[in-house]
Amino acid sequence: MKGIILSYRRGKHTQNVNQMLVEVEGIDNKEKAEKIIGKEIIWKSPSGKEFKGKLIAVHGCKGALRAKFEKNLPGQSIGNKIEVKA
């Protein structure tokens, strides 16, 4: 499965850099999103490094998910593609 990194998890005055919001292809509601919680995801940087993470929770009702990575992702990752391991 493929997906896109949407943004950092954030509030009005704060930004949580250790969590990212992710949208996965084919997931368009909360029920479908709950089924893939716990799956491993990978983001490849332009230099070729792989950053591994895990889907930890649903974010909202339209199928977005929260992901936590082993190492915090840089800002250049926003808008890039990820791969969800099945």
- What was the pLDDT predicted at 40? 97
CA–CA separation, 30 vs 62, rounded Å?
A: 6
- What was the pLDDT predicted at 22? 97
Topology at the third CATH level for domain 2-84: Thrombin, subunit H (2.40.10)
pLDDT per residue of the chain (86 residues) written in tens, 0 to 9: 999 999 999 999 999 888 999 999 999 999 999 999 999 999 999 999 999 999 999 999 999 999 999 999 999 999 999 999 97
Bridge partners of 31?
A: none
- What was the pLDDT predicted at 86? 72
What pTM, to 2 d.p., does this model score? 0.89
CA–CA separation, 45 vs 72, rounded Å?
A: 12
- What was the pLDDT predicted at 6? 96
